[in-house]
């Protein structure tokens, strides 16, 4: 695992489920050595989350959920209530640059590894703690699960066909954003450590990660005093912007300015100055009329030629792909979003890849320096001997 911008950094990943493991995976993708500490026997909770499970050559069943968030890591199983487990963890902490945990508030202290203890073991350590609702405040002790937080943080009220149809996002977005925000904090703390020599405690939560991406929906509340509600596949502030039916399916368009509105109307022989539709604020105010106006223009067209016509006219447009279609798409492959790895029990498998690429810029142009070799998610305790031998090295 020598490729990547964070080559040489050691991360101890004490987390389980998704937010913390996703943060650890991101740091591993960037080149850090990530050592995942798991419970003996069962390991990370997600090893048991399924179906789907995939049968391994060793007779075991492997969760595709676990495989999604643990590439580029090593695994060691430690009983943190045993003398050996605590001793090995102390030695790992002493040699680490970053530790990640997403236990409920107070658990690390009860295990004997609170923030003060970790800082004493390693004053330069960057500690990342991800909780459900924050480590302090009146509801700090609540367990954080993605769908519950999506509801509590207001995201489900914005998602669905209407106000009476709250829906969760189709991926565990609170967990994923918690991990991403955690990595941002870790990288900032590492930059600061390079100047001060001292570590930091970085804290984020699933709650703060969702509230932190409310974006314009948040300022509708805090500044305009409005209550945003779900309105399906159409934008609350831009029109037309969303999913529109056509003869054999549907297409998506984004008309983000008046130039695009004029181009759309010109392509389909519509009057851009139609009363009630002449400007974006009018089109938003007359939402139903806007939808009917565009839908009528698309009704006699099939999706594929309609998309070509929209693109030729310069209108941002696209279709809704299934995930198999996404992973078969040449553009996805071109961006390095598929990686082939060799799993200890499953053999060769393909995983969704990291979303960041790196380039050097010279007089002859850009040269890609992205990580090209990735390591499969580990089997439970796969690297016990390797990690213990490393701890014996001076």
Residues carrying an active site annotation: 175
The CA-based dihedral angle spanning residues 230, 233, 235, 236, taken in that order and rounded to the nearest 10 degrees: -20
Q: Which residues contact residue 324 at a Cβ distance below 8 angstroms, ignoring those fewer than 6 apart?
A: none
Q: Looking up tokens 């990580």, which residue turns up?
A: 371
Task: Please give the angle made by the CA atoms of 358, 364 and 369, to the nearest 5 degrees.
Answer: 20
Task: Please give the angle made by the CA atoms of 301, 302 and 307, to the nearest 5 degrees.
Answer: 90
Preceding peptide of 240 cis, ω within 30°: yes
Can you state the percent helix, strand and coil of the chain, rounding each to 5? Answer: 40, 20, 45
Q: Which residues contact residue 204 at a Cβ distance below 8 angstroms, ignoring those fewer than 6 apart?
A: 128, 129, 130, 178, 181, 182, 185
Can you state the angle between helices 303-312 and 258-267, rounded to 10 degrees?
130
Report yes or no: 240 and 255 within 8 Å, Cβ to Cβ: yes
Reference 102, options 40, 160, 149, 154; nearest CA is 149
Preceding peptide of 52 cis, ω within 30°: yes
Cα 298 to Cα 140: distance, rounded to the nearest angstrom:
51
């Amino acid at each position: 695992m020598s490729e990547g911008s964070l080559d040489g950094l050691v991360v101890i990943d004490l987390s389980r489920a998704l937010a913390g493991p996703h943060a650890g995976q991101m740091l591993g993708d960037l080149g850090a050595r990530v050592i995942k500490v798991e419970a003996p026997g069962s390991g990370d909770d997600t090893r048991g989350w399924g179906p789907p499970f995939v049968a391994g050559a060793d007779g075991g069943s492997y969760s595709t959920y676990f495989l999604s968030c643990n590439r580029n890591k090593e695994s060691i199983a430690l009983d943190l209530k045993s003398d050996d487990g605590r001793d090995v963890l102390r030695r790992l902490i002493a040699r680490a640059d970053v530790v990640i945990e997403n236990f409920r508030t107070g658990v690390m202290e009860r295990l004997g590894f609170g923030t003060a203890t970790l800082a004493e073991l390693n004053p330069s350590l960057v500690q990342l703690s991800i909780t459900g609702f924050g480590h302090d405040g009146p509801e700090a002790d609540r367990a954080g699960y993605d769908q519950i937080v999506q509801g509590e943080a207001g995201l489900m009220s914005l998602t669905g066909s209407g106000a009476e149809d709250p829906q969760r996002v189709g991926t565990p977005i609170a967990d994923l954003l918690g991990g991403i925000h955690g990595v941002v904090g870790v990288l900032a703390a590492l930059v600061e450590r390079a100047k001060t020599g001292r570590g930091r405690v970085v804290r984020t939560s699933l709650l703060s990660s969702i509230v932190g991406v409310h974006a314009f929906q948040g300022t509708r509340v805090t500044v305009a005093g409005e209550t945003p509600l779900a309105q399906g596949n159409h934008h609350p502030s831009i029109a037309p912007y969303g999913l529109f039916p056509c003869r054999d399916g549907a297409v998506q368009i984004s008309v983000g300015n008046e130039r695009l509105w004029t181009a759309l109307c010109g392509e389909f022989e519509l009057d851009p100055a139609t009363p009630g539709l002449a400007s974006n604020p009018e089109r938003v105010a007359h939402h139903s009329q806007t939808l009917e106006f565009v839908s009528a223009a698309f009704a006699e067209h099939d999706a594929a030629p309609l998309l070509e016509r929209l693109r030729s006219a310069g209108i941002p447009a696209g279709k809704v792909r299934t995930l198999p279609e996404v992973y078969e798409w040449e553009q996805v492959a071109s961006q390095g979003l598929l990686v082939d790895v060799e799993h200890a029990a499953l053999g060769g498998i393909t995983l969704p890849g990291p979303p960041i690429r790196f380039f050097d810029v010279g007089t002859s142009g850009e040269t890609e320096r992205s990580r090209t070799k990735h390591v499969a998610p580990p089997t439970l305790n796969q690297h016990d001997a390797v990690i213990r031998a490393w701890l014996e090295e001076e």
